[in-house]
């Protein structure tokens, strides 16, 4: 059902703190590597975005398991709505510390919206504040990471010129948001497993990286774009196969073709 | 240094715009998933998405008008009208589908009598459902919602573009930045009220509608911070 | 601009929008997306396993916005980097978008089925293989037509927003319209054709979707076959009307000519909206007079139903 989970804590798998660490540290390291290394290595921004998107997907999984009252996608859209503001704000004032400033700003605005959601609107989701901080932070890092892939740097003027004025920012907005909201939405159900959801996050983030790599060819030329697309395709291929493996592991049956399960089977 | 005081008026307008967007979502009659099965009154889609669809259509109209004239009332009017057209076209075609495709009579389960036409509603509600289709009151409410959303979105866009005009010439960078910020602020203020109403509402006659102050206060606070970061980021255009 | 040329552009945009709307709705019917899909999702839990695609990418607006934004990105790159003609660039951009959408569709249907293993819902690979290309084909048509609209607005009408942003916004709009109009025909009628016509879906029948076709098991093709007769075309009309009327008022009463003209365009828009309100009222009254029976008329029949 698109209305979200059945109202309980998400269980199993890696503890949240591990994923927060991977997402925040991996995201920032990837962004800074892409910024300082030559344009050929702009794909590191994409790898950073993958870490951030997986983190965001895990945070969505934890908060949406409580049931949001409306579709899972809404939380992805609000996270990217905040993310787009804070990402460009951070880059505009932070200089070399831009991604970190953006990250902190996202955490602050996320916390405010989380508190408002629980205290004023009264959603009553115990982890709402923390989840909003995480989702906003992850969305911001995903946007900066993908922007860095296209621009080759996170310098505000270059990002404006190559990402914002061309409109690629709208593509980053939605593909980052889908990377964060799709994994849990696509695995919704009582037998959802964390590893399957997260590997789907990797797969979607790799797609985002491929498209961002394609867009980077305008600014960085065909060489770096080719490298990014190649790395993205490799990650995508591996993660898709892993996801399919998890589906085969978890599903009741994966059949080439067949009729519906019989009455006796359903008993 | 960024001159925030000079931009206080524009920030204020952005916040007003955000609050209007948040309020507008309460008017849009959406029944969520049940409405798509003719199980609840309203349009069979999600609150955020329909409000965003209407409001952003208005943003396209306002963006076009702003390109050719610099007249605040006219820009706001074009955004409002663009959103109203989108939402009323969607609702009239929705009514075709409910009446001609599904065979349901528009009826509300939340009120006994339509406050606008004074028609009885409860007689027409099918068994096991909470109403279906779009009675006149929901339709009118939706038009109001679309108008407010388009108005708020255009106001945000106009105010942010004015901030940019204060520091630099209008160019593609500025338009792209301002437009994506307007989209971002729109989504933040469309999701907050949809959590407030739990995803479904019939219109301004719905008891849930009275909850709007909660969402409006939340949006007010959230938009202040969004406006702050947006204004600072746009002001930096001047230093480039 | 020459009034004739702008009217021609407007007509072409309206046509493209109409096609886009129809294909958008059929795309969501063949794959089962958005709100009606909640019943496909619920069915196995109610002991009704099925062979219907479960395309839970997200709501339709984000997924269509994604397709259109990716398509526009591809087109911009091809036009900017490779100097391709716009027509080729838009086609190839739409192709890239359709491929990405195909992977989203596949992972969602497999993921959702795997998360329902306790209800014994199998993953049918032949169903995925046969339906995904159809979904991609519809996605291609939708994206291509939305790209044409966005390109026309951007290049010919001189809209200031960059192409990917315009495509993104039109993607949100077409998804919102598709899930509000055509999807109801699929969700309220086609999924529950075994129940009495015209009564909505009784909550006690939730999840009991039609799973058997004229011969064999029902699949997404059967659903899009049915919805192509009404739900798809009206969605097309809805999106076509939105794009056409929204641009028509500013083309006929161009605000660039004078402020007065601009105000006339707003007045024209408001008049259109009032006509639609009255139209809705007329349909409402006509339906109430012609349909029935209702509770008061024949209470015993209603109780039996």
Question: By the CB < 8 Å criterion, does C108 face chain A?
Answer: yes
Kindly tell me the burial class for residue C279, based on how many C-beta atoms sit within 10 Å of its own C-beta (0-12, 13-18, 19 or more): middle
Rounded Cα gap, residues B184 and A85, in angstroms? 7
**Are B181 and A70 within 8 A, CB to CB?**
no
Question: By the CB < 8 Å criterion, does C198 face chain B?
Answer: yes
Question: By the CB < 8 Å criterion, does C25 face chain B?
Answer: no
Percent of chain B whose pLDDT exceeds 70 = 98
Q: What is the pLDDT of residue C297?
A: 55
Q: What is the pLDDT of residues C93-135, one digit of tens each?
A: 999 999 999 999 999 999 999 999 889 899 999 999 999 999 9
Surface of A (174-193) touching C: CB under 8 A:
174-175, 177-178, 181-182, 185-193
Q: What is the pLDDT of residue C304?
A: 45
**Are A167 and C120 within 8 A, CB to CB?**
no
Surface of B (42-71) touching C: CB under 8 A:
43-46, 49-50, 52-54, 56-57, 59-61, 63-69, 71
Cross-strand partners of B130: B40
Q: What is the pLDDT of residue C300?
A: 46
**Are A178 and C125 within 8 A, CB to CB?**
no
Q: What is the pLDDT of residues B202-237, one digit of tens each?
A: 888 888 888 889 999 999 999 999 999 999 999 888
Structure confidence at residue A3 as a pLDDT band (50, 70, 90)? very low
Q: Please say if the pLDDT value at position A161 is more than 50.
A: yes
Helix, strand and coil content of chain C, in percent to the nearest 5, comes to 75, 0, 25
**Are A177 and C62 within 8 A, CB to CB?**
yes
Low-confidence ranges of chain C (pLDDT < 50): 298-305
Q: Please say if the pLDDT value at position B180 is more than 60.
A: yes
- Dihedral (CA of C156, C158, C162, C168) sign: negative
Q: Please say if the pLDDT value at position A15 is more than 60.
A: yes
Dihedral over alpha carbons A189, A193, A197, A199 (to 10 degrees): -150
Q: What is the pLDDT of residues A77-92, one digit of tens each?
A: 888 899 999 999 999 9
Surface of C (39-78) touching B: CB under 8 A:
39, 59-62
Unique residue bearing structure tokens 């919102």: C176
Kindly tell me the burial class for residue A262, based on how many C-beta atoms sit within 10 Å of its own C-beta (0-12, 13-18, 19 or more): exposed
Q: What is the pLDDT of residues B151-168, one digit of tens each?
A: 999 999 999 998 888 888
Among candidates C94, C107, C238, which has minimal Cα distance to C176?
A: C238
Rounded Cα gap, residues B177 and B173, in angstroms? 6
Nearest CB neighbour to C200, from listed B59, B85, B132 = B132
Residue C291 makes CB contacts below 8 A (sequence gap 6+) with B103, B105, C198
Q: What is the pLDDT of residue C235?
A: 94
Kindly tell me the burial class for residue C282, based on how many C-beta atoms sit within 10 Å of its own C-beta (0-12, 13-18, 19 or more): exposed
Question: By the CB < 8 Å criterion, does A2 face chain C?
Answer: yes
Q: What is the pLDDT of residues A47-57, one digit of tens each?
A: 999 999 999 99
Which ipTM did the prediction report? 0.93
Which chains pack against A, by 3+ Cβ pairs within 8 A?
Answer: B, C
Q: What is the pLDDT of residue A10?
A: 62
Using a CB-CB distance cutoff of 8 angstroms, which residues of chain A are in contact with residue B181? 84-85, 88
pLDDT (mean) for A141-154: 92
pLDDT (mean) for B57-64: 89
pLDDT (mean) for A15-42: 89
Asked if the bond preceding C293 is cis, omega within 30° of 0, the reply is yes
How does the average pLDDT of chain B come out, rounded?
A: 89
Question: By the CB < 8 Å criterion, does B19 face chain C?
Answer: no
Q: What is the pLDDT of residue A118?
A: 87
Q: What is the pLDDT of residues A212-264, one digit of tens each?
A: 999 999 888 888 899 999 999 999 999 999 999 999 999 998 998 888 888 77
H helix or E strand, kind and range, residue C123:
strand C123-124
Q: How far is C40 from chain A (nearest CA, A)?
A: 8
CB–CB contacts below 8 A, B to C = 290
Which tokens in the block code for residue B37?
């099965």
Which tokens in the block code for residue C304?
């039996």
Question: By the CB < 8 Å criterion, does A105 face chain B?
Answer: yes
Residue B235 domain boundaries: 5-239
Q: What is the pLDDT of residue B199?
A: 73
Q: What is the pLDDT of residues B79-111, one digit of tens each?
A: 999 999 999 999 999 999 999 998 889 988 888
Higher pLDDT, C68 or A74: C68
Q: What is the pLDDT of residues C247-284, one digit of tens each?
A: 888 888 888 888 888 899 999 999 999 999 999 999 99
Question: By the CB < 8 Å criterion, does C172 face chain B?
Answer: yes
Q: Could you state, in order of their start, the residue ranges of all structural domains in chain C? A: 3-234, 253-305
Structure confidence at residue A176 as a pLDDT band (50, 70, 90)? very high
């Amino acid at each position: 059902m698109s209305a979200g989970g059945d109202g309980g804590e998400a269980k199993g798998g890696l503890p949240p703190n591990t994923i927060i660490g991977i997402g925040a540290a991996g995201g920032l390291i990837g962004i800074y590597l892409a910024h300082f290394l030559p344009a050929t290595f702009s794909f590191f921004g994409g790898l950073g975005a993958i870490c951030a998107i997986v983190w965001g997907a895990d945070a969505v999984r934890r908060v949406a398991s409580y049931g949001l009252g409306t579709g899972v996608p809404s939380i992805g859209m609000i996270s990217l709505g905040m993310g787009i503001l804070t990402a460009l704000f951070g880059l505009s004032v932070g200089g070399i510390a831009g991604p970190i400033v953006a990250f902190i700003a996202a955490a602050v605005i996320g916390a405010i919206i989380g508190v408002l959601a629980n205290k004023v609107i009264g959603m009553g989701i115990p982890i709402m504040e923390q989840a909003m901080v995480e989702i906003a932070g992850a969305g911001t890092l995903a946007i900066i990471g993908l922007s860095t892939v296209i621009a080759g740097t996170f310098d505000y003027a270059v990002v404006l010129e190559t990402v914002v004025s061309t409109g690629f920012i709208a593509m980053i907005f939605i593909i980052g948001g889908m990377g964060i909201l799709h994994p849990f939405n696509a695995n919704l159900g009582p037998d959802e497993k964390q590893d399957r959801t997260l590997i789907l996050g990797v797969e979607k983030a790799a797609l985002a990286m491929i498209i961002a790599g394609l867009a980077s060819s305008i600014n960085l030329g065909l060489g770096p774009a080719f490298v990014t697309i190649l790395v993205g395709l490799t990650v995508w291929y591996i993660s898709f196969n892993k996801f399919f493996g998890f589906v085969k592991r978890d599903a009741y049956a994966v059949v080439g073709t067949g009729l519906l399960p019989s009455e006796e089977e359903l008993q | 240094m960024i001159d925030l005081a000079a931009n206080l008026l524009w920030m204020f307008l952005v916040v007003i715009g955000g609050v209007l967007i948040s309020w507008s979502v309460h008017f849009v009659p959406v029944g969520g998933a049940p409405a798509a099965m003719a199980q609840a009154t309203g349009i069979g889609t999600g609150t955020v998405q329909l409000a965003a669809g209407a409001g952003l259509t208005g943003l396209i109209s306002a963006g076009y008008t702003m390109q050719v004239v610099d007249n605040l009332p006219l820009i706001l009017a074009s955004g409002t009208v663009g959103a109203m057209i989108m939402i009323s076209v969607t609702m009239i075609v929705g009514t075709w589908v409910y009446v001609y495709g599904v065979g349901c009579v528009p009826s509300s389960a939340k009120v006994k009598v339509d406050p606008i036409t004074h028609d009885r509603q409860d007689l027409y509600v099918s068994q096991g459902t909470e109403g279906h289709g779009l009675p006149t009151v929901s339709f009118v409410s939706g038009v109001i919602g679309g108008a407010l959303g388009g108005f708020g979105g255009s106001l945000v866009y106009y105010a942010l573009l004015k901030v940019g005009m204060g520091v630099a010439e209008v160019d593609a960078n500025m338009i792209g930045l301002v437009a994506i910020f307007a989209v971002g602020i729109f989504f933040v203020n469309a999701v907050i009220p949809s959590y407030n109403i739990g995803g479904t509402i019939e219109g301004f006659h719905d008891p849930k509608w009275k909850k709007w102050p909660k969402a409006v206060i939340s949006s007010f606070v959230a938009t202040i911070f969004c406006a702050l970061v947006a204004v600072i980021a746009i002001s930096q255009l001047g230093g480039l | 601009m020459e009034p004739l040329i702008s009217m021609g552009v407007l007509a072409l945009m309206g046509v493209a929008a109409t096609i886009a709307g129809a294909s958008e709705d059929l795309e969501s019917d063949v794959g089962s997306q958005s709100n009606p899909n909640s019943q496909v999702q619920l069915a196995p839990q109610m002991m009704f396993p099925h062979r219907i695609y479960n395309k839970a990418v997200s709501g339709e607006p984000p997924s269509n916005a994604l397709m259109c934004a990716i398509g526009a990105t591809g087109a911009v790159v091809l036009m900017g980097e490779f100097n391709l003609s716009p027509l080729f660039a838009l086609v190839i951009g739409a192709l890239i978008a359709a491929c990405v959408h195909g992977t989203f569709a596949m992972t969602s249907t497999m993921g959702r089925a795997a998360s329902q293993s306790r209800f014994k819902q199998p993953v049918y690979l032949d169903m995925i293989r046969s339906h995904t290309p159809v979904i991609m084909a519809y996605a291609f048509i939708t994206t291509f037509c939305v790209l044409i609209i966005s390109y026309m607005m951007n290049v010919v009408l001189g809209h200031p927003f960059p192409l990917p942003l315009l495509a993104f916004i039109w993607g949100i709009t077409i998804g919102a319209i598709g899930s509000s109009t055509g999807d109801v025909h699929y969700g309220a009628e086609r999924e529950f054709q075994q129940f009495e016509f015209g009564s909505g879906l009784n909550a006690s029948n939730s999840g009991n979707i039609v799973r058997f076709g004229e011969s064999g098991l029902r699949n997404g093709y059967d659903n899009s076959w049915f919805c192509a007769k009404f739900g798809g075309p009206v969605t097309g009309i809805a999106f076509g009307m939105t794009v056409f009327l929204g641009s028509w008022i500013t083309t006929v009463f161009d605000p660039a000519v004078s402020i007065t003209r601009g105000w006339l365009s707003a007045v024209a828009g408001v008049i259109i909206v009032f006509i639609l309100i009255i139209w809705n009222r007329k349909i409402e009254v006509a339906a109430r007079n012609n349909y029935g029976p209702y509770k008061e008329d024949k209470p015993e029949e209603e109780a039996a139903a």
